[in-house]
Amino acid sequence: MSNLRSVVSILSLALLAACSGESTNANGPGPTIPDGSFARIQTDILNKQCISCHSTGMSFARQSQLVLTSDSAYQQLVGAASVQQIANADGLPRVKAFHADSSLLYHKLAWVPGHHNRDYGLLMPSGTTQGLTAGQLEYIRRWIEAGAPRTGHVADTLVLKDARTQTATFSPLAAPAAGTGLQLVVDSFAISPTQERELFVYRRVSNPTDLYITRIQSRMRPGSHHLLLYQFDDTKTTFPCNSRPAPDVVRDIKNADGSFNLLNMLPMACHVYFAGAMTPDFDYNFPAGVALKLPANSSLDFNVHYVNRAPIDLPGQAFANLYTTDRSKVTTVARTLNYPNTSFTLPAKQRTTIRTVFTMGTKTTILGLTSHMHSMGERYEIHVRKANGSETTVYTNLDWEHPGFQNFDTPLVLELGDALVSVVTYNNVTDHTIGFGLASTDEMNIIFGYAY
Ligand code: HEC
């Protein structure tokens, strides 16, 4: 663990040393300091790290239909359609002015997955074991966000001085001050090149008394698609729920050969959702007087799921802070909501919308909602359906990877017989049928939330 950290910091020191000098123009005579942000990208990045492949006549340039020498780079990037199949299906041009997140160029250069985390082919510069520095990537991002103009200075050149690797910009989450809560951590582990890694670590909280949680805060190193904390259903007393996993041991859900590790997955049959986040940073406060109860002597199964498309090890790490309050300050104890649909089918090469109705068996006051789907998911809506049939949309998410948590300042009150309805649209761009499953190539369909 600490080995990985020191390798990363040695790498970034080496880079700092290598990149501290002023840039010189590799194209012979001409201004040494290029004029304008795109010119700077051309001279400092494209000329140095891209044109060895992306030059007229080279096979790689033919394959990608992309020439990045100064005579054509701008025209072939900005507003130009991509030839990569999935990017095309997703409607991503190479550079979409003002929208880095909708620009294939940005995703090809971001070695630590961002919002899309779709498989858009090789990461660039291909053939290296080092992506652009954090500063170079940020400079390109800012240029795109500023409209990707051909001339003019639109991005601060100071960011170019950030010579850290893209994975080195993460800072851990500080633990709650003594007496105000507790922190659970899945410490740094590596995700091998071009692999996915989903794992569980069973952590004993060993709290002598019930804990009342008023705030849940979490942070994940980029690349994880979720962080989830599960309790175990104590009412299930038969196999496999009659025993608990060994504490503090990493349980990968896949074996080295890519097959599922069923033994490590068995405890999933006994899980009850406790808390979770689908965004890298999450911070939720329960309303005054409301708290989530963690019974005495609890344990939590900590789950993270990383997808690494880079040709290097990606470091994974996750933190969850549970802030507590005194029992005397709690007027209402909240509970978690977990409404999955685990049986649906998405035919190949088409859009499908799945509608699932969850009728309340008791009056339910909903404080907040979030959802879980995978990369074929385009739209997740949650509706409230009243017993009289009227239906209103209370939650919409278009970003499968970072669905966000919808907090209701005025809680939603559902009477007995009212329902929550999930309406999920998937676009299965593959040529095979997809259903519910655990891998990021399978799909998911779950409503999570808090209520009382
Ligand atoms: C070792 C050769 C090599 C280097 C170096 C390289 N590329 Fe590529 N590039 C390729 C190949 C091969 C493809 C097509 C395969 C793929 O996209 O997975 C490609 C595809 C691309 C695409 C996608 C084009 C499209 O429309 O699908 C972009 C954008 C790109 N490269 C940008 C860059 C940038 C920017 C750099 C420098 C930072 C770079 N490449 C360096 C070989 C290279």
Q: What pLDDT is attached to residue 223?
A: 82
Ligand 1 center from residue 307 Cα (angstroms): 21
Ligand 1 center from residue 342 Cα (angstroms): 38
Ligand 1 center from residue 258 Cα (angstroms): 28
Q: What pLDDT is attached to residue 17?
A: 32
Tell me the per-residue pLDDT of 289-305, one tens digit each, with 9 for 90 and over: 999 999 999 999 999 98
Q: What pLDDT is attached to residue 116?
A: 55
**From 14-23, 31-40, 245-254, the region with the lowest mean pLDDT:** 14-23
Q: What pLDDT is attached to residue 345?
A: 94
Answer yes or no: is pLDDT of 53 > 70.
Answer: yes
Quote the CA–CA distance of 355 and 424 in Å, as a whole number: 7
Quote the CA–CA distance of 154 and 157 in Å, as a whole number: 9
Ligand 1 contact, 64 CB (< 6 A): yes
Ligand 1 contact, 122 CB (< 6 A): yes
Minimum CA distance residue for ligand 1 atom 20: 64
Choose among 61, 66, 116, 64: nearest CA to 91. Answer: 116
Q: What pLDDT is attached to residue 233?
A: 87
Ligand 1, atom nearest to 77 Cα = 29
Ligand 1 contact, 82 CB (< 6 A): yes
Minimum CA distance residue for ligand 1 atom 31: 124
Query: What is the sign, positive or negative, of the torsion defined by CA atoms of 189, 192, 197, 199?
Result: negative
Ligand 1 contact, 47 CB (< 6 A): no
Quote the CA–CA distance of 315 and 168 in Å, as a whole number: 9
Which of the four pLDDT bands, split at 50, 70 and 90, describes residue 136?
very high
Ligand 1 contact, 440 CB (< 6 A): no
Q: What pLDDT is attached to residue 12?
A: 34
Tell me the per-residue pLDDT of 206-235, one tens digit each, with 9 for 90 and over: 999 999 999 999 999 988 878 999 999 889
Ligand 1, atom nearest to 127 Cα = 1
Taking the CB of residue 145, how many other CB atoms lie within 10 A of it? 17
- Asked if 231 and 272 touch (Cβ cutoff 8 Å), the reply is yes
Which of the four pLDDT bands, split at 50, 70 and 90, describes residue 440?
low
Answer yes or no: is pLDDT of 357 > 80.
Answer: yes
End-to-end CA distance of the chain: 40
Q: What pLDDT is attached to residue 193?
A: 87
**What average pLDDT does the chain have?**
88
Instruction: Please enumerate, as own/partner, the contacts of 10-18 that have beta carbons within 8 Å and a separation of 24 or more.
Output: 11/130, 11/165, 11/168, 12/163, 12/164, 12/165, 12/168, 15/130, 15/133, 15/163, 15/164, 15/165, 16/163, 16/164, 18/163
Ligand 1 contact, 127 CB (< 6 A): yes
Per the omega criterion (within 30 degrees of 0), is the bond before 295 cis?
A: no
Ligand 1 contact, 390 CB (< 6 A): no
- Asked if 319 and 302 touch (Cβ cutoff 8 Å), the reply is no
Ligand 1 contact, 41 CB (< 6 A): no
Ligand 1 center from residue 54 Cα (angstroms): 7
Ligand 1 contact, 104 CB (< 6 A): yes
Ligand 1 contact, 121 CB (< 6 A): yes
Q: What pLDDT is attached to residue 328?
A: 97
* 270: region left, alpha or beta (phi > 0 left; psi from -120 to 50 alpha): alpha
Q: What pLDDT is attached to residue 289?
A: 95
Mean pLDDT score, 399-424: 91
Q: What pLDDT is attached to residue 222?
A: 82
Minimum CA distance residue for ligand 1 atom 22: 64
Which of the four pLDDT bands, split at 50, 70 and 90, describes residue 117?
low
Higher pLDDT, 258 or 175: 175
Ligand 1 contact, 126 CB (< 6 A): yes
Ligand 1 center from residue 124 Cα (angstroms): 5
Ligand 1 center from residue 402 Cα (angstroms): 27
Ligand 1 center from residue 137 Cα (angstroms): 15
Minimum CA distance residue for ligand 1 atom 23: 64
Ligand 1 center from residue 81 Cα (angstroms): 14
Ligand 1 contact, 84 CB (< 6 A): yes
Q: What pLDDT is attached to residue 260?
A: 85
Would you state the structure tokens that stand for residue 52, as one six-digit string? 């060895």
Q: What pLDDT is attached to residue 300?
A: 96
CA atoms within 13 A on the CB side of 94: 17
Ligand 1 contact, 66 CB (< 6 A): yes
Ligand 1, atom nearest to 80 Cα = 26
Answer yes or no: is pLDDT of 354 > 80.
Answer: yes
Quote the CA–CA distance of 323 and 107 in Å, as a whole number: 36
Higher pLDDT, 440 or 345: 345
Tell me the per-residue pLDDT of 137-162, one tens digit each, with 9 for 90 and over: 999 999 999 999 999 999 999 999 99
Minimum CA distance residue for ligand 1 atom 9: 64
Contacts of 117 (CB under 8 A, 6+ apart): 223, 225, 307, 309, 375, 401, 440
Ligand 1 center from residue 179 Cα (angstroms): 52
Would you state the structure tokens that stand for residue 56, as one six-digit string? 């007229």
Tell me the per-residue pLDDT of 190-210, one tens digit each, with 9 for 90 and over: 998 888 899 999 999 999 999
Which of the four pLDDT bands, split at 50, 70 and 90, describes residue 119?
confident
